[in-house]
Amino acid sequence: MAYKYKHVIMAGIDGAGVFFHKAKTPLIRSMFEKGAGADPALTVFPTESAQCWCTMLTGIMPEEHGLTMDNIGEIEYKGKAEHPDIFALIRKAHPEAKLASFAHWSPINTGIVDDGIGVVKDTGKDDYLMERACAYVKAELPEFLFIHFDSVDDHGHGYGYGSEKYLAQLDLVDGYTARVFEAAAEAGIADDTLFIVTTDHGGINGSHGGWSDEEKYVFFVMTGKTVRKCAIPEMNVREIPAIIAYALGIPGVADADGKDPGRLFTE
Q: Where residue 260 falls among pLDDT bands split at 50, 70, 90?
A: confident
pLDDT score for 226: 97
Report phi then psi at 182, rounded to 5: -65, -30
- Mean pLDDT computed over 238-251: 95
Pick the CATH number of 7-264 from 3.30.43.10, 2.40.170.20, 3.40.720.10, 3.30.460.80: 3.40.720.10
On the question of pLDDT at 198 being above 90, the answer is: yes
What are the backbone angles phi and psi of residue 25, rounded to the nearest 5°?
35, 65
**What is the average pLDDT across 2-12?**
96
* pLDDT for the residue numbered 88: 96
Q: What is the pLDDT of residues 18-53, one digit of tens each?
A: 999 999 999 999 999 999 999 999 999 999 999 999
What per-residue confidence (pLDDT) applies to 257?
62
Three-state DSSP class for residue 25: coil
pLDDT of residue 76: 87
Alpha-carbon gap, residue 149 to 180, rounded angstroms = 12
Model confidence at 258: pLDDT above 80: no
The ranges assigned to domains in the chain are 7-264
Q: Is the pLDDT of residue 142 over 80?
A: yes
pLDDT (0 to 100) of residue 259: 77
Integer-rounded Cα Rg, in Å, for the chain is 17
pLDDT at 81: 86
Q: How confident is the model at residue 252 (pLDDT cuts 50, 70, 90)?
A: confident
pLDDT for the residue numbered 107: 97
Q: How confident is the model at residue 153 (pLDDT cuts 50, 70, 90)?
A: very high
Q: Is the pLDDT of residue 89 over 70?
A: yes
Q: Angle, nearest 10°, between helix axes 26-34 and 164-186?
A: 60
Q: What is the mean pLDDT of the chain?
A: 96
Instruction: Tell whether the model's pLDDT for residue 195 goes beyond 90.
Output: yes
CA distance 193 to 82: 28
On whether the CB atoms of residues 36 and 264 are closer than 8 A, the answer is yes
